[in-house]
């Protein structure tokens, strides 16, 4: 893994039990994927510049300034993948956290540690999922801001996803304190209604997902679908023609049942499938029009 600008064996990297990021959740991170393209014998990292841009934006919002520029972090990430000779799909996790071992959850001390590691990841292998609206409210933009990808905020996600699993669902959908649909625990959400694609605006307490942005571009440019960013009420979920999640880990995932109500005809809808095919093809480096999103490793 990369730790503080050095490639090290993972066994040489450690964190004290006193570490304040561990004790108080004072960190931010990214989740990036690279896709192996067999016919081109190449590994492509998807939208790495945008992920590191968001990493810096998260750090800036949280008083955890990332001590290295993207111009350093990107070559280090490439180096890490080459060093591990990765020739399959892989998930990359850069993380920056408060390195001090002091009590008090203050963010103003300047020791911000950065590590990058990679791992295989099969996130939710089912082709379509059943979800519930969570009894937990999404932490708001003025609480733990969801637009910063902070470690601490994943306690909110953890509570909702655990509750969903315990109740027999695959995942949870958060609503905001105002009752609008927000996002999943690690995914953005879209509905299809009358051949329009609708997703909640950032002001409904959600992360500005990079997959979300990609889907909006694909829908407009490749499928000529109108795309609206507008608040969605809970009951609009139940009457949607199609609903799907988007995210780096999950990809594009059809939601076929919400709170025991069947969505559409209970299987992946046509628009969801078209968007998924386009996205998977683009991310794997098979669509020349979108090569700009794909950074070759070798």
Residues in contact with ligand PMP by the rule CB under 6 A:
31, 183, 186-188, 207, 209-212, 246-248
Residue ranges of E strands in 85-187: 90-98, 112-119, 128-137, 171-175, 181-184
Active-site choice (20, 98, 130, 149): 149
Separation between Cα atoms, residue 111 and residue 66, nearest integer Å: 10
Write down the least CB distance from residue 150 to ligand PMP, Å. 10
Pick between residue 113 and residue 149 the one whose CB is nearest to ligand PMP: 149
| 147/267 with CB nearer ligand PMP | 147
In angstroms, the CA 116 to CA 4 distance is 9
> Are 285 and 35 a contacting pair, CB within 8 Å?
yes
Specify the DSSP class assigned to residue 281. H
149 catalytically annotated: yes
Please give the Cα distance from 270 to 232 (Å, whole number).
Answer: 21
What H or E segment, with its residue span, contains residue 87? Answer: none
Of 115 and 182, the one with the shorter C-beta distance to ligand PMP is: 182
- Which H, E and C letters describe 13-52, residue by residue? CCCCCCCHHHHHCCEEECCEEEEEECCCCEEEEECHHHHH
- Decide whether 99 or 200 has the Cβ nearer to ligand PMP: 200
CB 167 within 8 A of CB 160: no
Say which residue the tokens 């590590």 belong to.
115
As a whole number of Å, the end-to-end CA separation of the chain is 18
In the bound state with ligand PMP, the residue whose beta carbon lies nearer, of 100 and 144, is 144
- Residues marked active site are found at 149
């Amino acid at each position: 893994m990369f730790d503080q600008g050095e490639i090290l064996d993972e066994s040489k990297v450690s964190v004290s039990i006193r570490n304040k990021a561990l004790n108080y959740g004072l960190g931010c991170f990214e989740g990036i994927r690279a896709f192996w393209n067999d016919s081109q014998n190449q590994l492509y990292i998807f939208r790495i510049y945008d992920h590191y841009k968001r990493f810096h934006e998260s750090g800036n919002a949280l008083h955890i300034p990332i001590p290295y520029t993207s111009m350093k972090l990107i070559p280090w990430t490439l180096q890490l993948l080459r060093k591990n000779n990765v020739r399959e799909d892989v998930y990359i996790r850069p993380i920056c956290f408060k390195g001090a071992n002091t009590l008090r959850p203050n963010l103003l001390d300047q020791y911000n540690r950065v590590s990058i590691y990679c791992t295989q990841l099969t996130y939710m292998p089912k082709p379509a999922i059943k979800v519930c609206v969570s009894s937990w409210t999404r932490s708001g933009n003025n609480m733990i801001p969801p637009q910063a990808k902070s470690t601490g905020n994943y306690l909110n996600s953890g509570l909702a996803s655990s509750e969903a699993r315990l109740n027999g669902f695959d995942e949870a959908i958060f609503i905001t304190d105002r009752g609008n649909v927000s996002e999943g625990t690690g995914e953005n959400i879209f509905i299809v209604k009358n051949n329009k694609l609708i997703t909640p605006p950032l002001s409904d307490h959600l992360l500005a997902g990079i997959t979300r942005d990609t889907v909006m571009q694909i829908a407009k440019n490749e499928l000529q679908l109108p795309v609206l960013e507008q608040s969605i009420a809970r009951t609009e979920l139940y009457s949607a023609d199609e609903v799907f999640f988007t995210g780096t880990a999950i990809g594009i995932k059809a939601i076929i049942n919400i709170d025991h109500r069947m969505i559409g005809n209970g299987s992946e809808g046509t628009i969801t499938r078209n968007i998924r095919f386009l996205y998977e093809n683009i991310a794997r480096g098979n669509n020349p029009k979108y090569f700009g999103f794909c950074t070759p490793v070798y």
